[in-house]
Amino acid sequence: MMYSLAQLRGFVAVAEHGHFGRAAQALLMSQPPLSRQIQALERAVGVSLFDRGPRGVQLTVAGQVFLRDARRILSLADGAPETARRVAAGQAGRIQVAFISAAALSILEPLLTEISFELAQLEVALVELSGAEQLQALADGRIDLGLVRPPVPTEELEAQPVHAEPLIVALPDGHHLAQTDGPIAPEDLIDEPILEYAEDGTHYLHDLCVRLLGSENFVAAQRVSQLSTALALVRARRGVAVVPRSAAAMSFDGVIYRDVVGPSPQVSLHACWRRDTMNPALINVIAYLRARLQP
């Protein structure tokens, strides 16, 4: 089946005017070539699209259905050049964004809102992956942008800090350190059973907690790899946990949060992408990140 856009335009004009002569005038052409276009279109489609009569033409049932699709095809064809220009300029297109679960508690929603405002025609597809999975997916070209904890390998990737927040302490309800509303000094946690982050899975948070408390002050109660696990064990009174402030958004019943006295190590989240990216939409997003979201 082969037909041209010119034939579709002629068909739509005849359908809208109900008359070959008036449609030909609207198209600034004579009637015989228009009639031949419609005949060729009907041969290509394999059905009659019009019932012809002395006073004009009417669409057949098949013609009515074909009219809807023809209008859609013409609309897409008319819009295709502008869409291509927008994609080439990075104003439209698609990017695949991966994120760790902690990003959903902090930066993900405002980031998507801002991108949607700045680049309204950009499609953002989301997938949740661990930090290690994101780095591999970037290397394989399966995602365009990752949201991960540092450090980010810089040989093939570039990174931009997009969020930073302090550490806070999560305590079980009724714990003696939760009796007052004030912040907790790191030395107050000496001899407390600490829910320790596993070095092989969440080494970044592990290292920050060691900086805050000092390795000699750890009384490790349990090793965990997920913030949600740490908070669930705090609720179960299996220990206390040091968590990023955004973790409080998980709202575990029976868990109380307290700030830390003095300057706390900042928990960072970085956006990262391949240095050799050629995606115009991603390049625009990167420019936005660099200009707007530096913590």
pLDDT of residue 245: 93
pLDDT of residue 270: 93
Sign, CA dihedral 222-225-226-229, equals negative
Q: Which one, of 12, 42, 49, lies nearest residue 27 by Cα?
A: 12
Identical fold for domains 92-162+269-292 and 164-267, yes or no, is: yes
Mean pLDDT of the chain: 87
pLDDT digits (tens, 9 = 90+) for 3-17: 888 988 999 999 999
pLDDT of residue 217: 59
User: How much is the average pLDDT of 125-148?
Assistant: 93
Residue type, position 80, single letter:
A
pLDDT of residue 230: 92
pLDDT of residue 204: 87
Percent of the chain whose predicted confidence (pLDDT) is above 90: 44
Crossing angle of helices 280-292 and 108-118, rounded to 10°: 120
| pTM > 0.75: yes or no | no
Sign, CA dihedral 248-252-259-204, equals negative
* Residue 198 to residues 30, 133, 190, 221, Cα–Cα distance (Å): 80, 17, 19, 12
- The residue extents of the domains of the chain are 5-88, 92-162+269-292, 164-267
What CATH number was assigned to the domain covering residues 92-162+269-292? 3.40.190.10
Q: Do residues 116 and 284 make contact, with C-beta atoms less than 8 angstroms apart?
A: no
pLDDT of residue 83: 59
Residue 90 predicted with pLDDT over 80: no
pLDDT digits (tens, 9 = 90+) for 97-114: 999 988 888 888 888 888
DSSP states of the chain: ----HHHHHHHHHHHHHSSHHHHHHHTTS-HHHHHHHHHHHHHHHTS--EEEETTEEEE-HHHHHHHHHHHHHHHHHHHHHHHHHHHHTTSEEEEEEEE-HHHHHTTHHHHHHHHHHHSTEEEEEEEE--HHHHHHHHHHTS-SEEEEPSP--TTTEEEEEEEEEEEEEEEETT-GGGSSSS-B-GGGGTTSEEEEEPTTTSHHHHHHHHHHH-GGG-EEEEEES-HHHHHHHHHTTS-BEEEEGGGGGG--TTEEEE-BSS--PEEEEEEEEETT---HHHHHHHHHHHHH---
Burial of residue 164, with CB atoms counted within 10 A of its CB: 0-12 exposed, 13-18 middle, 19 or more buried: middle
CATH 2.40.160.20 matches 5-88 = no
What CATH number was assigned to the domain covering residues 164-267? 3.40.190.10
CA 277 to chain centre: 17
Percent of the chain whose predicted confidence (pLDDT) is above 70: 91
CA 268 to chain centre: 19
pLDDT digits (tens, 9 = 90+) for 158-216: 999 999 999 999 999 999 998 888 999 998 888 889 998 876 656 888 888 888 888 66
pLDDT digits (tens, 9 = 90+) for 137-163: 999 999 999 999 998 988 889 999 999
